[in-house]
Amino acid sequence: MEQTGTVSAVQLHDKRFEPFISAPELDRAIDQVAGELRAKYAGRRPLFLGVLNGAYFFAAKLMERMDIECEISFVKVASYLGTSSTGTVTQLIGLTERLQDRHVVVVEDIVDTGGTVAHILEALADHAPASVSVATMLFKPDAYTKDHPIEHVALRVPNAFVVGSGLDHDGLGRNLPGIYRIIDK
C-alpha cells in the first residue's frame, strides 16, 4: 500500500484503488444481514450456498454469526475478465447437496448485472428447493438487469469496480480489509 495524504491507495496490476468502505462499517452491515437471516430461517435448517471465490469472505462472516442450525456448501462460477463482466457465466464446480424441499440461501460477494445469480437460480430450480433467496455483501442496483429480488443486502454501492473482503481484480485484492473503489479506469 502507498500513502496518498491521509488515504491509503493500493495498486493491483495496472489499476489503482482507494478506500471506499471501512472494515468496521462492512462488519456492521454483515451483522444486520445475519440478523435478518437468523430471524427468517430459525427452525428451518437452511443451506447457505456460497459462490466461490469471492463470497468465501462473506459466507465465513455470516456463518460466524449464525446461531441457528444450518449448513454451508459452495459452487464456483465465473463471469468476469479484468474489470468487466464477460456476460457469460460458466459453472466450474456443480452442486453436490440434495436440495429438494430445502431452504437455500445463495451467498454472493457482489451482485451487479445479476447474470451469475440468474444462472445459479435457474440451475437450482431443477432441484426443487422449498425456497431460494439471495444474500449479498454488496449490491449495485443501477447495474442490476434481472427480475429476481435480492432480499438480503449488506450494502448498496454505486456502479464502480470494487475490490477487497473477497472481491478481486484478476486474482489480487481479496485480502484487503474493507472495500476499495477503482481510481483509474
133: domain CATH number is 3.40.50.2020
Distance CA 43, CA 25 (A): 29
In a domain, 46, yes or no: yes
Write down the pTM of the prediction. 0.89
Domain count, the chain: 1
Distance CA 74, CA 12 (A): 27
Q: Residue holding cell 440478523?
A: 35
Q: When comparing pLDDT for 89 and 74, which is higher?
A: 74
Distance CA 9, CA 19 (A): 7
Query: By three-state DSSP, how is residue 6 classified?
Result: coil
Q: Is the pLDDT of residue 78 over 90?
A: no
Q: Among candidates 108, 153, 104, which has minimal Cα distance to 131?
A: 104
In a domain, 101, yes or no: yes
In a domain, 6, yes or no: no
In a domain, 48, yes or no: yes
In a domain, 164, yes or no: yes
Q: Cite the beta strand spans of 71-185 per DSSP E.
A: 71-81, 84-93, 103-111, 131-139, 152-156, 162-163, 179-182
Q: When comparing pLDDT for 89 and 139, which is higher?
A: 139
Distance CA 139, CA 135 (A): 10
The active-site residue, picked from 67, 112, 142, 170, is 112
In a domain, 77, yes or no: yes
Share of the chain above pLDDT 70, in %: 86
Q: Is the pLDDT of residue 8 over 60?
A: yes
Contact 164, 177 (CB under 8 A): yes
Percent helix, strand, coil in the chain, to 5, is: 20, 40, 35
In a domain, 11, yes or no: no
Structural domain containing residue 145: 21-182
In a domain, 3, yes or no: no
pLDDT band per the 50, 70, 90 thresholds, residue 55: very high
Q: Is 27 a catalytic residue?
A: no
Which residues have C-beta within 8 Å of that of residue 33, sequence separation ≥ 6? 62, 135, 152, 153, 154
